[in-house]
Chain A
Amino acid sequence: MRHILTRARNLGTRKPGLTGVAALSVLAIAAAGCGSSSPSSSSSPSASTPQSGGTFTILANSSFGVADPAQNYTLQEWQLLIDTHDGLVGFAMTGGIAGTKIVPNLATSVPLPTNGGKTYVFHIRSGIKFSNGTPLEPSDWLTVFERQFTVPGGNPGFYSDIVGASACSTKGCNLSKGVVANNAAMTLTIHLTQSDPEFMDQLSLPFAFAVPQNTSMHLTGNNVPPGTGPYMWKSYNPNTEAVLVRNPYFHVWSQIAAPNGYPNEIIEKYGLPVSDEVTEVLNGEANEVFDGDQVPADDLSMLNSPKYASEVHVNTLTADWYFALNTRTAPFNNVLARQAINYAANRSAYVKIAGGPSLAVPACQILPPNFPSYVAYCPYTTGKQTVWSGPNLAKAKALVKQSGTYGDKVVVNGTNDTVGTELAEQMVSDLDSIGYKASTQLLSMAVQYPFIQNSVNSSKWNVAWSAWYQDYPAPSDFLNVLLGCGHIVPNSDASPNIAAFCNQGIQNQINTAESIEAAQPAKAAAMWTQIDHEDTNLAPWVDLYNPKQIDILSSNVHGYKWNPQWYILIDQLWLSK
C-alpha cells in the first residue's frame, strides 16, 4: 500500500519551483513499468566488461527521512537497503519483467506453505555474517518481526497474521509462538493465523530484511542496523549525505538474489535544486539524479538533445494517478454520473500536465500496464475499447441527463503544488463541460492524503485526487486494497478505499481469487483480469494515467537495468574510467 506519500514525505519544498523538489511531482513525471518504451534496458554499447571500483554518487533533492528499516517506507531508502540488507526471499536483482520474480535469498529455497497455507519452513544459509562480524542466525528474524510492532508507523500490517501478533503493541511483542527459530538446524518456521497468498511478497520487502537479534526494539532513528548485503551503511545525515561502503564480511551466495556490487562506495547527497543535479550529472560531476526528483520542465527540453540519448532512460511505472469519486454522496453515488465524468475526462490534457505522452500513458482501468493480470481495457473513449483515444462528450452529457444530476455542485479535492493544482483545474473544467458546477479544494500535500483518506471527512468532497504506487506486483494490491469492501473503515483516518466503493459481487470474486491463488494461479489471474474490468465498468475512479519515470545517468555509467519493483539497481551499475 504504497501511496505516493511514501515518497512525498520530504517534499516540503515542492512548490517554489526551481529548488525543487521532489515529491509528488516527482512522481508526476515518474514512472515505471517494464521498460518497453524507451531506449532503456540495454547498457551502452561501449560497455564492454563490467569493472569494479570507483565511487557512485547519487544526487537527491531531499533525504528519505528516518532511516530505521522497520519504519522507513520510501523507495528512496529501499533502493539503498537492497544493497545492504537481505531478506529470506527477494525479488530477482535483474531488469525487466524477470525482476518481479521472487527467488530465495538468505533462505535456500522459496518454501511452499503447509498446514492449509498457514505454515512456512525456511532453511537458512550458513556461513553468512552481518557487517559487524556477527554470524546470521534464524533467531534474528524474531527480532525483525517483533520490531515491526514495537517500532510504530512502519508497514501497514503486512505481518499482522503471524501467530501472536494480535497481542503485540509498541510496548512489547512476543512472537515466539509464531516465529520459531532452530539455530542448530538453521531453520525458521513461521506460523500464520490465516493463509496469505501475498506473504512471500511481503517477506521480500525491506521491512523483513535481516538485522542482528540484539538490535534495539525501539526506533534506531537515523542509524541503520548492520545487514548482510555487499555494502554497509557508513553514515547517514538527512541534511547532507548517506555513505555506503563495502561490507568486509560479504561473499556471494546467490548471483540472482544478492549479486556483488560494482562501485566501491555509494554516496547519496542531499539538498541541491533538481536542475543543478541534472547539470552536474550531465557534466559528469556526479553519476545519477535520484529518480524520485521531479525534473523541472525547463530542463526536460535540454534532456531531449540527442547528445544525451544514451544517458537518459524512461520507464513506465506500475502506478496510477487518479481522481477517486466519492460513492457515498450525490452526485457520484449514481453509477451513471460516475461513468459520465469518465467519458468526459480529457485524458490527453492530463497527460500534457504530466509532461506529455513521453512521460505518461492515458489510462481508464485500475491495473497498470505490465502488471500481472493486466489486459488493456478502456470503455470510456470514442474509438476502440482498449486504448483511450479521445473523450466522448455527447455520451457523457446524455448520461448526466439520464442520471438526473445535471447542475449538481461538485468539490474537487487536490494538492496545491503546481501539478496538483493543474490536474484539479482540468478536472473542474471537465466537470463543468458536462453541466456540473465544480470548484476546487486544494490542500498542502502533507494534509491532502490524510484528509481524503479519513472517512470522517467524506462529506466534504466529491472528487479527490490520489495516486498509488505498487508495494509488490500482486493485483490485490490495487483491486482489494483500494476498492475492496474491507478497506472502507468508517470514522477512521486510515480508510484506503477513498471512493468508499463496495460491490458485494466483485468482493466475492476477490475473495475467491485470493483463496485459489496458490493452488490455481492461472485461474486466479484470469479472475483478477475480470475484476479489474468490472471495477472499471462501475467507475469508482476517473483513472488519468500511468506515470513514467526518468533516470538520468552520467556518460561513464554502464550496466543500466530497470527492475519493476526497485526501479534502478544502483549497485549493478559500473563506472568506466
Chain B
Amino acid sequence: MAAIAEQVSTTELRPAAAGRNPWALAWRRLRSNRIALAALGLFILIVVVCLAAPLYAHDLAHIGNPLSPNLNGTTVANGKVVPIMQEGGGILHLGETPIGPTWSLGHYFLGADGLGRDVASLVLYGGRASLQIGLASAVICCVVATVFALIAGFFGGLTDTILSRIMDIVWSFPVILLAICIATVLLTQPNGVKVGFLTIYATSLWVPTFIIALIYVPYVYRPVRGQVLSVVQKEFVEASIAQGASNFRLIFSEILPNVISTVIVLLPLITATNILTESALSYLSVGVQPPNVSWGTIIADGQDLLYTRPWVSLAPGIMIVLTVLALNVLGDGVRDALDPRAKLRVK
C-alpha cells in the first residue's frame, strides 16, 4: 500500500494539481488508487449483503424468526429430512450436536449453532449489528473528540489542561471493567436508564456503541487537538480575531475546516478498530446482548463447538477480517489522498 502511496504522490506533484479545490483533488487521488477503491468496493459489498439479510432469511421462512431457537426443527440435507440437533451415538448417546454445513443455500448452508439456528443468517444479521456499532461509534467518537479538541485547542490554558487530563484518564481506564459494570447496571433496570430524553435499554445496541465510542475519544482527541493548536496560531485566524469574529464563528468556520481532514482520515481506521473492539467485548460476553447477535457473540458461542462444528466461529471471523482489512486499506488510501505529505506515516 505504501507503494501506492508513492505513486499517488508522484501524480500529486504534477503542476495541474495546483490551485484546485483540495477535496476534489483528494477524490481524484483516491480514485486513482486502485487498491483503495477495491477495498471500498469490498466494504460496500459487505454492507449490502448484511443489509440484505432478510432476503436470505426469507428463504428460511419455514423456521420463522431466524434468531430464535430451533432445537426441535428439521432441515433438508442431500434430499433427506434430518433433525437439526443430532444426538450422540455409541452406547451412551451423550451430547447433542448441531447439523454441520450442508452447503446448500437456504438449508443451513453453514450449519446450525448450539440453539439450532442457521449460522449463515446469524452471520448476516450479526454483521448488521457489528457494522452498525462500528460505524455509529466511530462517528460519535469522532464528533465528541473533535468538539473537545476544538474547545481545548481554541481556549487553551486551564480548559485545555483539564480536558487533556480527563482524556489521559479515560485512556488508561480498564475498558472491559467499564463495559461489565455498565452492562450490569443497565441489565438490572428492566425499564432502561433515562439519560436526558433518551432511554437506554441493556439489550440495545447503543450500549456497546457508546462504550466503544467513549474509550476511543482520546485517540482521536490528541491528534485533532494538535492540529487545532497549530491552526489557531495561523495568520488567517488572527486576522479573523482582529476583525472581531465570535468564538463560535471562529471555531466552526475558520478552524474546523482546517482540521476536518485529520478526522476524516481517522474515521475509517477508527471504524475498523471499533469493529474489532466490539467483537472482543462480545467475545467476553459484555458487548452485544441477546436476542441481538453480532460477529463477536457468534464466535463466542462457536467456541464450545470449535472441534465439531468449526464453521460457527470460522464464518463470522472471516467476515471480521475482511471488513476490518477493507476499512484499513481504505483508511490508508484516504490518508494518502487527503494528506500526501504524510504518505509514509503510519498512525
Any A–B CB pair closer than 8 Å: yes
With A353-B96, A441-B190 already in contact, 8 other A-B pairs whose C-beta atoms are closer than 8 Å:
A300-B94, A304-B88, A306-B91, A353-B115, A356-B95, A422-B69, A425-B69, A432-B68
Known: A346-B72, A440-B290, A441-B202. A39 touches B91 (CB 8 A): yes
- Which of B91, B92, B284, B289 is in CB contact (< 8 Å) with A442? B289
A484 to B305, CA, bound (A): 41
- Which of A299, A411, A418, A429 is in CB contact (< 8 Å) with B114? A418
- Which of B93, B116, B188, B304 is in CB contact (< 8 Å) with A298? B304
Q: How many whole Å from B234's CB to the nearest CB in chain A?
A: 52
A318 to B90, CA, bound (A): 26
Q: Does A457 contact B (CB under 8 A)?
A: yes
Chain B residues, Cβ within 8 Å of A451: 188
Task: Give A contacts to B, CB under 8 Å.
Answer: 15-18, 38-39, 295-301, 303-306, 309, 312, 314, 346, 348-349, 352-353, 355-359, 411, 416-418, 421-422, 424-426, 428-429, 432, 439-444, 447, 451, 457, 460-461, 550
The answer to whether A461 touches B114, judged by C-beta atoms less than 8 angstroms apart, is no
The answer to whether A38 touches B187, judged by C-beta atoms less than 8 angstroms apart, is no
Chain B residues, Cβ within 8 Å of A425: 68-69, 115, 290-291
The answer to whether A355 touches B303, judged by C-beta atoms less than 8 angstroms apart, is no
Chain A residues, Cβ within 8 Å of B283: 16
Q: Does B151 contact A (CB under 8 A)?
A: no
9 residue pairs from A and B, CB less than 8 Å apart: A16-B283, A298-B308, A300-B95, A348-B71, A349-B69, A355-B94, A429-B68, A443-B184, A444-B184
The answer to whether B90 touches A305, judged by C-beta atoms less than 8 angstroms apart, is yes
A13 to B47, CA, bound (A): 35
The answer to whether A352 touches B71, judged by C-beta atoms less than 8 angstroms apart, is yes
Q: Which of chain B's residues 91-121 have a Cβ closer than 8 Å to chain A?
A: 91-97, 114-116
A541 to B13, CA, bound (A): 76
Task: Give B contacts to A, CB under 8 Å.
Answer: 68-69, 71-72, 85, 87-97, 114-116, 180, 184, 187-190, 202-203, 283-285, 289-291, 300-301, 303-308
Chain B residues, Cβ within 8 Å of A348: 71-72
Q: How many whole Å from A521's CB to the nearest CB in chain B?
A: 37
Known: A298-B304, A353-B71, A428-B291. A358 touches B94 (CB 8 A): yes
Q: How many whole Å from B222's CB to the nearest CB in chain A?
A: 33
The answer to whether A356 touches B72, judged by C-beta atoms less than 8 angstroms apart, is no
The answer to whether A439 touches B94, judged by C-beta atoms less than 8 angstroms apart, is no
Chain B residues, Cβ within 8 Å of A358: 87-88, 92-95
The answer to whether A309 touches B91, judged by C-beta atoms less than 8 angstroms apart, is yes
The answer to whether B69 touches A359, judged by C-beta atoms less than 8 angstroms apart, is no
A357 to B87, CA, bound (A): 8
The answer to whether A440 touches B93, judged by C-beta atoms less than 8 angstroms apart, is no
- Which of A353, A355, A356, A460 is in CB contact (< 8 Å) with B190? A460
Known: A304-B94, A305-B90, A418-B114. A439 touches B306 (CB 8 A): no
The answer to whether A17 touches B184, judged by C-beta atoms less than 8 angstroms apart, is no
The answer to whether A440 touches B291, judged by C-beta atoms less than 8 angstroms apart, is yes
Chain A residues, Cβ within 8 Å of B289: 440, 442
A314 to B93, CA, bound (A): 11
Q: How many whole Å from B22's CB to the nearest CB in chain A?
A: 48
Chain A residues, Cβ within 8 Å of B114: 297, 353, 418, 422
Chain A residues, Cβ within 8 Å of B184: 443-444, 447
Known: A355-B96, A356-B93, A359-B95. A15 touches B285 (CB 8 A): yes
Q: How many whole Å from A541's CB to the nearest CB in chain B?
A: 20
The answer to whether A349 touches B88, judged by C-beta atoms less than 8 angstroms apart, is no
Chain B residues, Cβ within 8 Å of A306: 90-91
- Which of A298, A312, A424, A461 is in CB contact (< 8 Å) with B307? A298
Which residue in chain B gives the minimum CB-CB distance to A457?
B188
Known: A346-B72, A358-B88, A439-B291. A304 touches B93 (CB 8 A): yes
A443 to B94, CA, bound (A): 28
- Which of B68, B88, B92, B115 is in CB contact (< 8 Å) with A38? B92
Chain A residues, Cβ within 8 Å of B284: 15-16
The answer to whether A297 touches B308, judged by C-beta atoms less than 8 angstroms apart, is yes
A295 to B90, CA, bound (A): 17
The answer to whether A15 touches B308, judged by C-beta atoms less than 8 angstroms apart, is no
The answer to whether B304 touches A418, judged by C-beta atoms less than 8 angstroms apart, is yes
- Which of B69, B203, B301 is in CB contact (< 8 Å) with A429? B69
Chain B residues, Cβ within 8 Å of A314: 92, 94
